[in-house]
Structures are given as structure tokens and as C-alpha cells.
């Protein structure tokens, strides 16, 4: 019986790259995204590796739609082994007091509440089957403070706290929960953010010791390792993958 992974935000960027990478390991993929075109593209890319894959459209800020993608995963495959809890948005890049309340609510709804809802329903399924492995997407902005991303940073710090606290409660039951903290990475979300705020890209690259952005494929390698690793004692960790960016802060 093949392993099954649910990936949110899988229509592009880190989610899509991880879906493709896991598929090469023979893992069946449940692609979750609000973007139907991107989601179906990821399904086809995963199937090229000979695995089964389905797309479920979902706005992760809505708990009923989160429950639906989990239910559809179980209906199709019967179990969930891996969860890449990845869906997120960045925001406008404005300073906090120039940010409107609607933007704050949207970022919190997708990045933090969506992640909490996802773990709530996925972990419930995993624990019924003896456990599973979860990787949450935090950010360099989840381990240090950065300007122009106050709300985003707050949600990503929340992801770190959620990760560590879930381990405190459920590691004994077979749940592994880790987080990744990517620095600036070449994804559609980051590209749009930097297109809207070009000076911030120059500043970011200048502050990275390796003097380049990361790639989605590099992050996918880390996520795949954390999800599938036989090193079951890795639990509650927040792994930075940022070219040394946060080490200089």
C-alpha cells in the first residue's frame, strides 16, 4: 500500500515542487489549492511519476472546506501518512499601520487559521491509524523580526509555536511535527511580492550570505526528507533553509 500525502498550496511554488518530489518516491498526492488551473497542473506532474493523484479545491481559511479536503483524501485513499501544511500568502509589503484590517484578517485566516484547521482534521485521521508526519511552512520571518511583514511574521511565529506544542501533546501517540523556515525563495508568491516591492528584493539578496534566492526544489528536498525520514527522532524542529540569511541577524 503506497503512502499518501496531502499538500496545501500545491498549485504552485513550494507545494507543487514538493508534490513532484514526493511523487518520485512513489507517494500518492492529494493536491489542495484554491487555484484550479495550478492544482490540476500539479496532479498531472505527479502522475508522470506513475502515482495516483487528485485535486481538491479549497480555501483553507474556511474550516468546512478544510474538512472536505481531508474527507476526500480519506474517501480516495483510506489514510493519510504525510501532510505538508503549506498554503499561505504574503501581503502587500506595507508597514503595519498602513495595512488595512481586511488584509490583516485575510493573512491570519489563510496562514494561521488555515494551518490550525488543517492539523486539526489531518492529525485526527493520522492518530486513528497510529500516527503520521507533518511539516508546517513557517518562514525566516517566523524566527526573526522583519519590517513590512508584521502580520505575516505574526502568523509564521504562530506556526512555530503550533509545531512545538503539537509535539508536546501528541508525539507519544506517533505524531511527528516539524516546520521549515525558508528565506526568500523563487516562488510565484515571492516574485509577486518583490515585483510590487523591488527595493526589498535588492535588500533581501544583499543580506543573504549566498547572494541568491533559494529555489522551490531545494525546499522540496528538505520537506521530503522531514516527511519521509526513517530518523523518527526528529520532532518539533524548525529547520531554516535560507542561505544563511537568519544567521546574520
Report yes or no on 163 lying in a domain.
yes
Per-residue pLDDT tens digits of the chain, which is 249 residues long: 899 999 999 999 999 999 999 999 999 999 999 999 999 999 999 999 999 999 999 999 999 999 999 999 999 999 999 999 999 999 999 999 999 999 999 999 999 999 999 999 999 999 999 999 999 999 999 999 999 999 999 999 999 999 999 999 999 999 999 999 999 898 887 777 788 777 777 777 778 899 999 999 999 999 999 999 999 999 999 999 999 999 877
- Asked if residue 69 is part of any domain, the answer here is yes
Beta pairing partners, 33: 57
Does residue 70 contact residue 6 with C-beta atoms inside 8 Å?
yes
Q: Write phi, then psi, for 33 (nearest 5 degrees).
A: -165, 160
Catalytic residue, chosen from 69, 117, 121, 152, is 152
Give the torsion through C-alpha atoms of 47, 49, 53, 56, to 10 deg: -80
pLDDT of the residue at 99: 97
Reading the block at residue 89, the C-alpha cell is 500568502
pLDDT score of 207: 86
Q: Containing domain of residue 32, as a range?
A: 4-183+216-239
Give the pLDDT of residue 205.
79
In a domain, 72, yes or no: yes
CB 109 within 8 A of CB 66: no
Verify whether residue 152 is a known catalytic residue.
yes
3-state secondary structure of 60: coil
The confidence score (pLDDT) of residue 33 equals: 98
CB atoms within 10 A of CB 1: 8
Instruction: Answer yes or no: is 209 within a domain.
Output: no
Contact 45, 27 (CB under 8 A): no
- Specify the DSSP element, H or E, that contains 176: strand 175-182
CA 112/CA 99 separation, integer angstroms: 18
C-alpha distance from residue 163 to each of 75, 138, 169, 221 (Å): 27, 9, 10, 20
Question: Is 194 part of any domain?
Answer: no
In a domain, 249, yes or no: no
**CATH code of the domain in which 49 resides:** 3.40.50.720
Question: Can you give the pTM of this predicted structure?
Answer: 0.95
Please state the domain count of the chain: 1
Nearest one of 144, 168, 188 to 236, comparing CA atoms: 168
Q: Answer yes or no: is 197 within a domain.
A: no
Q: Contact, 84 vs 227, CB < 8 A?
A: yes
Residue 85 lies in a domain: yes
Classify 180 as helix, strand or coil: strand
Amino acid at each position: 500500500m503506497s503512502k499518501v500525502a496531502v499538500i496545501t498550496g500545491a498549485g504552485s511554488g513550494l507545494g507543487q515542487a514538493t508534490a513532484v518530489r514526493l511523487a518520485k518516491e512513489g507517494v500518492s498526492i492529494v493536491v489542495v489549492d484554491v487555484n484550479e488551473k495550478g492544482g490540476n497542473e500539479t496532479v498531472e506532474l505527479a502522475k508522470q511519476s506513475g502515482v495516483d493523484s487528485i485535486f481538491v479545491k479549497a480555501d483553507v481559511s474556511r474550516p468546512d472546506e478544510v474538512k472536505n479536503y481531508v474527507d476526500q483524501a480519506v474517501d480516495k485513499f483510506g489514510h493519510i501518512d504525510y501532510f505538508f501544511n503549506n498554503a499561505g500568502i504574503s501581503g502587500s509589503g506595507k508597514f503595519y499601520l498602513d495595512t488595512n484590517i481586511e488584509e490583516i484578517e485575510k493573512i491570519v485566516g489563510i496562514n494561521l487559521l488555515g494551518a490550525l484547521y488543517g492539523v486539526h482534521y489531518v492529525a485526527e485521521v493520522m492518530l486513528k491509524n497510529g500516527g503520521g508526519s507533518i511539516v508546517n511552512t513557517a518562514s525566516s520571518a517566523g524566527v526573526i523580526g522583519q519590517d513590512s511583514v508584521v502580520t505575516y511574521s505574526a502568523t509564521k511565529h504562530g506556526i512555530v509555536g503550533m509545531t512545538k506544542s503539537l509535539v508536546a501533546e501528541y508525539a507519544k501517540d506517533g505524531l511527528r511535527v516539524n516546520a521549515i523556515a525558508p528565506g526568500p525563495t523563487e516562488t510565484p508568491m515571492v516574485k509577486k511580492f518583490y515585483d510590487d516591492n523591488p527595493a526589498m528584493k535588492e535588500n533581501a539578496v544583499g543580506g543573504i550570505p549566498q547572494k541568491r534566492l533559494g529555489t522551490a526544489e531545494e525546499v522540496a528536498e528538505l520537506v521530503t526528507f522531514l516527511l519521509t525520514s526513517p530518523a523518527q527522532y526528529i520532532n518539533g524542529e524548525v529547520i531554516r533553509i535560507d542561505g544563511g540569511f537568519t544567521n546574520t541577524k
